[in-house]
């Protein structure tokens, strides 16, 4: 079985030109500088900026943030790395518009508050800039359509920076699936299980941070993309299959109040405040080809971090929690789990074999940014395209709709407008041991 790389027709890039550009990208001495602006220089934006400063051929031209202290700190990091001080923009919520108007910027990295991801991405594409946006790239279905329509109208690629799609183990599993080792994939389970109450939604002193607003206003899967990211390619979503419907159910909310009561006492306002967000949201997605996916949001109860990935096929199963696989006819008899580590080594993806990992998340962030920068440099499609970006993100809004209607079955839009039926597997192809997309 051979999986070829699919490029969206609206990019209009000839295969020969792409190949020549990609060959050049492998030689750092020949690299053309990619000029980047960072919109949002909080913790995540500053981290991504720091990783990019370690990649060859990347210039940080401008930084933008609501807070001058953050923007200046980011600019100082650029100078300390030996680059010219970038332009600093701190002109309010719409200050980013001045950044994207510059003609010396090839791409923007968006790491702002969630509600600004879509408008920033849309405006940047209209200004002719490649877009790399933090997750989720949209929180409402209407915004998903805005992103798709703008990308198609302008011809500008738009990538949500879902780093867990690039994890080493997840790409090895993808290689195994594409070699038919698990048979036909029928069902997956995934979760974002991460207790974020004491550092992300609220700070250590119990004060609200910006994401706390979403817990007050909404009851939905607020953060599905880290769990769904690798599953999209495992299940060939948007390239042979597509999500058809979603049904979501939320528990009551007890975890937030309980945290504040035991940590700060019964008199803390958040110990009795009413939050809309249920502690755990369970979503069931059905595909057009009759496959299923379970997604859990679990970010408010005490627990260690876990993604709970499991993929089941007609010939076997992979379980991330157990770090194990079972393959029919190959694993020991009596349905005994095998350690995944030997398979990880045997089916390690070409991206990781050639990647000099830097930065956080075990080098996953630097791999993701490297692939994004390569696409900008060579004017090719990004490894995660706009269709996959919004397909992951639409779960936010759709889960909220389903919950509000009593866990009603809710239709998932076909953002590809039928292209999923004829599009071949496009993310991270590696069937020959060579990296076909870079």
Least confident of 197-206, 358-367, 387-396: 358-367
Q: Does position 288 have pLDDT exceeding 50, yes or no?
A: yes
The torsion angle over the Cα atoms of residues 29, 34, 37 and 43, rounded to 10 degrees, is -50
CA distance 4 to 8: 13
CA distance 254 to 17: 57
CB-CB contact of 437 with 428 (8 Å): yes
Nearest CA to 206 out of 276, 261, 275, 253 is that of 261
Q: Does position 5 have pLDDT exceeding 80, yes or no?
A: no
Among 128, 162, 196, residue at a domain's last position: 162
Task: Please tell me whether residue 170 adopts helix, strand or coil conformation.
Answer: helix
Q: Identify whether residues 95 and 217 lie together within a single domain.
A: no
Q: Identify whether residues 170 and 316 lie together within a single domain.
A: yes
Average the pLDDT over 310-332 and give the result: 97
- Beta-bridge partners for 110: 39, 133
Q: Identify whether residues 62 and 202 lie together within a single domain.
A: no
The CATH number given to whatever domain includes residue 320 is 3.30.360.10
Output the pLDDT for position 431. Answer: 60
Output the pLDDT for position 280. Answer: 98
Q: Identify whether residues 128 and 63 lie together within a single domain.
A: yes
Q: Identify whether residues 71 and 109 lie together within a single domain.
A: yes
The CATH number given to whatever domain includes residue 117 is 3.40.50.720
Task: Please tell me whether residue 242 adopts helix, strand or coil conformation.
Answer: coil
CB-CB contact of 192 with 298 (8 Å): yes
Indicate whether 430 belongs to any domain. Answer: no
Helix segments in 38-116, DSSP class H: 43-52, 68-80, 96-100
Residue 176 CA to its chain's centroid (Å):
22
Indicate whether 251 belongs to any domain. Answer: yes
Among 162, 182, 215, residue at a domain's last position: 162
Average the pLDDT over 337-359 and give the result: 93
- Higher-pLDDT residue of 232, 14: 232
Q: Identify whether residues 244 and 123 lie together within a single domain.
A: no
Q: Does position 155 have pLDDT exceeding 60, yes or no?
A: yes
- Higher-pLDDT residue of 430, 169: 169
Cα atoms in the 13 Å half-sphere on the side-chain side of 257: 14
Q: Identify whether residues 150 and 178 lie together within a single domain.
A: no
CA distance 67 to 200: 18
Output the pLDDT for position 6. Answer: 30
CA distance 225 to 389: 9
The 10 Å Cβ neighbour count of residue 421 is 13
Q: Identify whether residues 84 and 156 lie together within a single domain.
A: yes
Least confident of 248-262, 345-359, 363-377: 345-359
Indicate whether 381 belongs to any domain. Answer: no
Which residues, at least 6 apart from 131, have a Cβ–Cβ distance to it below 8 Å?
107, 108, 110, 121, 124, 125, 156, 157, 158, 159
Q: Does position 172 have pLDDT exceeding 60, yes or no?
A: yes
User: pLDDT band at residue 74, thresholds of 50, 70 and 90?
Assistant: very high
Element holding 346 (H helix, E strand): helix 341-346
Indicate whether 91 belongs to any domain. Answer: yes
Task: Please tell me whether residue 201 adopts helix, strand or coil conformation.
Answer: helix
Average the pLDDT over 90-105 and give the result: 97
Q: Identify whether residues 154 and 227 lie together within a single domain.
A: no
Output the pLDDT for position 364. Answer: 96
Indicate whether 379 belongs to any domain. Answer: no
Output the pLDDT for position 294. Answer: 98
The DSSP-derived string for 46-64 is HHHHHHHTTSTTEEEEEEE
Output the pLDDT for position 10. Answer: 30
Indicate whether 1 belongs to any domain. Answer: no
User: pLDDT band at residue 293, thresholds of 50, 70 and 90?
Assistant: very high
Cα atoms in the 13 Å half-sphere on the side-chain side of 424: 10
Output the pLDDT for position 55. Answer: 96
The conformation of residue 240, written as its DSSP 8-state character, comes to T
Among 131, 162, 193, residue at a domain's last position: 162
Q: Identify whether residues 273 and 413 lie together within a single domain.
A: yes
The 10 Å Cβ neighbour count of residue 173 is 26
Indicate whether 403 belongs to any domain. Answer: yes
pTM value surpassing 0.85: yes
Q: At how many degrees (to 10) do helices 43-52 and 68-80 cross?
A: 20
User: pLDDT band at residue 292, thresholds of 50, 70 and 90?
Assistant: very high
Indicate whether 370 belongs to any domain. Answer: no
The structural domain count of the chain equals: 2
Q: Which residue range forms the structural domain that includes residue 394?
A: 165-351+387-421
Q: Does position 289 have pLDDT exceeding 80, yes or no?
A: yes
- Higher-pLDDT residue of 241, 332: 241
Which residues, at least 6 apart from 105, have a Cβ–Cβ distance to it below 8 Å?
35, 36, 37, 61, 62, 99, 129
- Higher-pLDDT residue of 399, 9: 399
Q: Identify whether residues 340 and 397 lie together within a single domain.
A: yes
Output the pLDDT for position 16. Answer: 31
Q: Does position 26 have pLDDT exceeding 80, yes or no?
A: no
Q: Identify whether residues 211 and 317 lie together within a single domain.
A: yes
């Amino acid at each position: 079985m051979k999986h070829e790389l699919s490029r969206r027709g609206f990019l209009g890039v000839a295969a020969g030109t792409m190949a020549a550009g990609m060959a050049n990208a492998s030689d750092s001495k020949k690299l053309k500088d990619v000029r980047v602006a960072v919109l949002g220089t909080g913790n995540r934006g500053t981290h991504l900026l720091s990783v990019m400063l370690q990649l060859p051929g990347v210039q940080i031209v401008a930084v933008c943030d609501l807070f001058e202290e953050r923007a200046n700190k980011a600019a100082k990091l650029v100078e300390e790395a030996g680059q010219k001080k970038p332009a600093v923009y701190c002109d309010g919520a719409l200050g980013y518009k001045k950044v994207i108007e510059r003609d010396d910027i090839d791409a923007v990295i968006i790491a702002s508050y969630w509600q600004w991801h879509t408008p920033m991405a849309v405006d940047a594409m209209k200004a002719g800039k490649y877009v790399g946006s933090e997750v989720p790239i949209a929180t409402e279905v209407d915004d998903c359509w805005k992103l798709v329509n703008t990308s198609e109208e302008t011809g500008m690629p738009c990538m949500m920076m879902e780093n867990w799609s690039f994890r080493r183990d997840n790409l090895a599993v993808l290689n195994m699936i594409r070699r038919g080792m698990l048979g036909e994939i029928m069902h997956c389970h995934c979760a974002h299980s991460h207790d974020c109450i004491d550092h992300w939604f609220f700070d250590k002193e119990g004060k609200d941070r910006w994401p706390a607003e979403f817990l007050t206003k909404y009851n939905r899967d607020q953060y599905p993309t880290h769990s769904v990211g690798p599953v999209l390619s495992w299940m060939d979503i948007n390239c042979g299959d597509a999500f058809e419907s979603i049904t979501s159910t939320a528990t009551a909310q007890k975890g937030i109040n309980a945290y504040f009561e035991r940590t700060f006492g019964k008199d803390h306002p958040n110990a009795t405040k009413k939050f809309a967000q249920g502690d755990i949201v369970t979503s069931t997605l059905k595909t057009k080809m009759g496959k299923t996916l379970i997604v859990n949001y679990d970010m408010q109860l005490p627990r260690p971090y876990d993604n709970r990935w499991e993929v089941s096929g007609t010939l076997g199963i992979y379980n991330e929690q157990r770090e194990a696989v079972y393959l029919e006819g190959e694993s020991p008899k009596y349905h005994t789990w095998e350690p995944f580590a030997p398979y990880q080594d045997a089916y390690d993806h070409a991206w990781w074999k050639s990647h000099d990992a830097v930065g956080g998340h075990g080098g996953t962030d630097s791999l993701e940014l490297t692939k994004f920068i390569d696409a900008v440099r060579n004017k090719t499609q990004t490894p995660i395209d706009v269709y996959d970006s919004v397909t992951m993100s639409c779960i936010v809004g759709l889960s909220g709709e389903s919950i509000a209607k009593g866990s009603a079955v809710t239709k998932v839009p076909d953002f590809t407008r039928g292209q999923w039926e004829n599009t071949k597997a496009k993310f991270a192809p590696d069937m020959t041991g060579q990296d076909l997309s870079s």
